[in-house]
Amino acid sequence: MATPSPIAWKAADRTLIQIIDSAHAEAARKSGAWLACRPGCSQCCIGVFAISQLDVRRLQAGLEDLKQHDPARAARAVARARESVERLRGEFPGDPETGLLTESDEAEARFEDFANDEPCPALDPETQTCDLYASRPMTCRVFGPAVRVEGGAVGACELCYQGASDEQIAECAVEMDPDDTESPLTAKLEAETGVCGMTIVAWCLAAGSEPRP
């Protein structure tokens, strides 16, 4: 099975990140003081969530970089991930060996109530900041300010927009990826690597480094 060139997928991913970060900045500008997100606010880092194979590649590449610049911090992140995997293995709604989530209605229902109190292993428990912030998944990148989701609904962090009306929140909302750049890029990566499906951060980081060809 062919493995994509690191340069090829990283370049495409950088373009995607620029789109998302630009939209996030616009939402933050519109939101002003209503936006509560800041270093040390880590409520959104508690509870597992699904990540794509593109997120996996980005996180593992970021971990590899961290190993080069701060090996002790990288080792702590990997240790937290492995401890998390062991805690969650028994109830994991998927394959506990690969970390891939099962795609079925039953498994998705189980995932709704799965590990909602589990801290993300990328979260430094002392500083309450992300050790892999620059490489964080898309879910983390879009969370916080008001965003328009499928169907036109608006979602935002419950800690933000205190005192704002629904209309004021809607005025701040933006579409993060209006041309859906992420989906075809993820699909291409899965087709080229042969690894398909969603996983969670703990299984992603437990391996300790970026997959090699």
pLDDT tens-place string over residues 133-148:
999 999 999 999 999 9
Number of domains in the chain: 1
Q: Does any domain span residue 35?
A: yes
- 189 within some domain: yes
Q: What is the mean pLDDT of residues 108-112?
A: 93
- Listed in sequence order, the residues at least 6 apart from 210 whose beta carbon sits closer than 8 Å to its beta carbon are 57, 60, 61, 63, 64
- Collapsing DSSP states into helix, strand and coil, what is residue 111? helix
What confidence tens digit (pLDDT) does each residue in 42-72 have? 999 999 999 999 999 999 999 999 999 999 9
Give the pLDDT score at 8.
83
Domain with 11, as residue range(s), is 6-206
> What percentage of residues in the chain have a pLDDT greater than 90?
87
Given its phi and psi angles, is residue 175 left (phi above 0), alpha (psi -120 to 50 degrees) or beta?
A: beta
Whether residue 156 contacts residue 34, with contact meaning beta carbons closer than 8 Å, is answered with no
Q: What pLDDT, on a 0 to 100 scale, did the predictor assign at position 213?
A: 42
Domain for residue 110, yes or no?
yes
Mean pLDDT over 113-131 rounds to 96
DSSP annotation of 46 reads B
Residue 173 domain flag:
yes
DSSP class of residue 4? Answer: -
**136 occurs within a structural domain:** yes
Model confidence at 120: pLDDT above 70: yes
Whole-Å CA distances, 80 to 109, 145, 155, 177:
26, 28, 30, 31
> For residue 210, what pLDDT is reported?
52
The phi, psi pair for 199, rounded to 5°, reads: -140, -165
pLDDT tens for each residue of 76-100: 999 999 999 999 999 999 999 999 9
CA distance linking residue 158 with residue 4, whole number of Å: 39
In a domain, 211, yes or no: no
Is the model more confident about 7 or about 80? 80
**Both structure tokens of 95:** 């394959």
pLDDT reported for residue 3: 56
93, 111 Cβ separation under 8 angstroms? yes
Does any domain span residue 96? yes
The candidate with the shortest Cα–Cα distance to 35, out of 116, 147, 138, is 147
Instruction: For residue 212, name the pLDDT band (cuts at 50, 70, 90).
Output: very low
Average model confidence (pLDDT) across the chain:
92
C-alpha Rg value of the chain to the nearest Å: 17
Contact 34, 161 (CB under 8 A): yes
pTM value > 0.95:
no
